[in-house]
Amino acid sequence: MSFLKRWAVRLAVAVALVLGTLIIGGAFDARRRHPDLKPWHRLVPHDIHAAELDDSFTLERWLRREAEVFGEVAVMEDGLDPVDRTPVNRYFPSSRTHYSRLGRDWNRTFELEPAELRGGAVLVHGLTDSPYSMRAIADLLREQGFYTLALRMPGHGTVPAGLIDVDWQDWLAALRMGMRHTRGKIGADRPLLLVGYSNGGALAAKYAMEALDRPRDPAPNRVLLISPMIGVTPAARLARWISLLGVVPYFEKARWLDVLPEYNPIKYNSFPANAGLQTALLTSALRSDLSRLASAGRLQSLPPMLAFQSAVDATVSTPAVVRSLYDLLPANGSELVLFDVNHQSGIDAFVRPEDLSAIDGLFDRAPRSYRRTLVTNRAPETTEIVARTVEAGQSEATTQELGMAWPPGVFSLTHVALPFPPDDPLYGSDPIEDGSGLLRLGRLSPRGERAVLIAGADTFMRLSSNPFFRYLAERVRAWAKP
């Protein structure tokens, strides 16, 4: 026994030494690798946390508290050093990337009222994002008669450092508040939709599952997911330990996985380690809920889910959306829409085999409990696209002509592109010109010398709007119809 005890102690010491080496080495690497931090990397606004959000917390109080948080950011903007007053700094009010160029501050929670009330919808944006990403979907639902509430999740829309002092329970508590408000707004009998994009998709799915055990929380009648974050890399857990040294001034950069220029008016470019950790914890909790409910035979109580997902996605795992969520769902009218790569582009030879096999695996002849749709080339030699659909419980596909085609030079959609139409003023490939002077990020596709730009060229080359948004909009209208 003493022999085993000695080896156990030695193993524990070895693990501690390895972990300590990784933490300290990671902290030194962050200090060396990252540029100097700016005021928006150091200001941590006093945002809204779950401890405040009890059942009596109203949307009116939420908006007042949110205004206080943005007041802290305004003070920071007023005090910027001359070196930070640049044409592409989102925090410089005269820059081409300040939110004011969009006509209103879409970083904040917003509501849209329909002409005739037929239902309600709560929309949740993604990680490092803001309610702006829900703008087009919210407007589409408003036209369908839905009161829409696009919530700003705590830590978002202000400064990147806001994500240092936040956890996923804060986001879920905010969502509960929004669902209570919206149910009260529309009454007990009208349909209530829940829409989640990226990390917001994980929150929407988590809320829908928790609502089965929380009768006081309004249950959604339908759930819409866009690029849902069902599976992410577990590497963020190590980043959490490295970031602990960030409280030491010498290692303050250890709190950050990326420190980048902030030129996007409605989304952070810099990325705190805590943001990745919270997403990892959220998706882990979500998958535990799925496993628990599946074992108990309770997934049949979930509302129908419609998800749109790019077959290739550098941010979330497309196979996880299929295997960890949809393959567990009962036959309740759910559907998964997958956007394929552009096979006419000749890119297939360069796509990772696991990504192509994920498509083949989903559209084999095995029946599934949910409807499957693949938006893909009508034939390999053409850019024209069709929707191939396999109904729940069936194995044969039907084909729908869509009257659309891949734009020249585009080989796939992306994680970030799906909810944005081509005429989106910021991200669109064909934005509406309004004389605002806004820098149109969706039109940037630089080709030139390397190591010249302040941001990586691959960032600008990533498709930021959806050329097939018209199809997505048609499907959402049909899905949301009361």
pLDDT (tens, 9 = 90+) of the chain, 482 residues, equals 566 666 666 665 565 555 555 556 656 556 566 788 999 999 999 999 999 999 999 999 999 999 999 999 999 999 999 999 999 999 999 999 999 999 999 999 999 999 999 999 999 999 999 999 999 999 999 999 999 999 999 999 999 999 999 999 999 999 999 999 999 999 999 999 999 999 999 999 999 999 999 989 999 999 999 999 997 655 555 556 656 655 656 557 888 989 999 999 999 999 999 999 999 999 999 999 999 999 999 999 999 999 999 998 888 888 889 888 999 999 999 999 999 999 887 777 777 777 777 677 777 778 999 999 999 999 989 999 999 999 999 999 999 999 999 999 899 999 999 999 999 999 999 998 887 889 898 888 766 776 677 666 667 778 999 999 999 999 999 999 86
Q: Is residue 129 located within the same domain as residue 242?
A: yes
Q: Is residue 186 located within the same domain as residue 246?
A: yes
Question: Tell me, what DSSP letter sits at residue 350?
Answer: G
440 domain residue, yes or no: no
Sheet strands side by side (includes 146-151)? 110-112, 146-151, 119-124, 192-197, 222-226, 305-310, 335-339, 371-377, 384-390, 397-405
State the residue for tokens 């202000």: 158
So what's the pLDDT on residue 237?
55
Q: How far is CA 148 from CA 57, 113, 116, 223, 226, in A?
A: 19, 7, 13, 14, 17
Domain total for the chain? 2
21 domain residue, yes or no: no
478 domain residue, yes or no: yes
Q: Is residue 289 located within the same domain as residue 310?
A: no
Q: Could you tell me the residue range of the domain that residue 378 belongs to?
A: 304-421+466-482
439 domain residue, yes or no: no
So what's the pLDDT on residue 34?
72
So what's the pLDDT on residue 234?
56
So what's the pLDDT on residue 436?
86
The predicted model scores a pTM of: 0.91
So what's the pLDDT on residue 400?
96
Burial letters 393-420, b for 16+ CB under 10 A, else e: eeeeeeeeebebbbeeebbbbbbbbbbb
Q: Is residue 332 located within the same domain as residue 194?
A: no
10 domain residue, yes or no: no
Q: Is residue 338 located within the same domain as residue 274?
A: no
Q: Is residue 226 located within the same domain as residue 353?
A: no
Domain endpoint, select from 246, 276, 303? 303
Q: How many CA atoms lie within 13 A of 251 on its CB side?
A: 17
Q: Is residue 267 located within the same domain as residue 322?
A: no
d(CA 274, CA 429) in angstroms, rounded, equals 32
CATH of the domain at 56: 3.40.50.1820
Domain endpoint, select from 303, 332, 351? 303
CB atoms within 10 A of CB 289: 18
Burial letters 103-132, b for 16+ CB under 10 A, else e: eebbbbbbbbebeeebbbbbbbbbbbbbbb
Contacts of 36 (CB under 8 A, 6+ apart): none
Q: Is residue 297 located within the same domain as residue 182?
A: yes
Domain endpoint, select from 303, 328, 356? 303
E-strand stretches of 340-434: 371-377, 384-390, 397-405
Q: Is residue 280 located within the same domain as residue 360?
A: no
16 domain residue, yes or no: no
Q: Is residue 291 located within the same domain as residue 337?
A: no
d(CA 338, CA 227) in angstroms, rounded, equals 10
So what's the pLDDT on residue 8?
60
